Amino acid sequence: MTPVHVSSFIGTMTLSFVGVLAYRWFGPVALVVVAGIGLSAVLAFSAYRFDLKKRHKVSNFDPSFLIGCLICGGIFFAFVFIQSRWLREHTKDWVPCAAEVLDRLNAVTAPIATC
């Protein structure tokens, strides 16, 4: 396996783990969001790294690649943070632990939001 395939494999495994957690915590809606944003990001970054590898300009710490990963992670967490109130109101019946998880999430992110 080339480094590009390894990074795609690791990205897909990480995405699968996040998808399972999202499904467990927030239900099917979050799983669709994780798959839609995350899988697209993994495929796009894998293609980008493959292109860099072909041009012999690949580095494990390529700044644009790392910034892209941070942006995709930020989009995912921003979605969860913004939608947390909606999820709390609409998922109490079909996801028993969602309210508890969202309370913990809000407790952690409340100091960040006030800065």
Does pLDDT of 1 surpass 50?
A: no
**How many Cβ atoms from other residues are within 10 Å of residue 88's Cβ?**
16
pTM confidence score = 0.34
Q: Domain containing 85: what range?
A: 3-114
Residues 6+ apart with CB under 8 A from 45: 7, 11, 65, 68, 69
Beta strands in 1-115 (DSSP E): none
| DSSP 8-class letter at 91 | S
Tens of pLDDT, residue by residue over 2-31, are 555 555 666 666 766 777 777 666 666 666
Tens of pLDDT, residue by residue over 58-105, are 565 566 666 666 676 666 666 666 666 666 666 555 555 656 666 776
Q: Per the structure, how many domains does the chain have?
A: 1
Structure tokens belonging to residue 57 = 């300009």
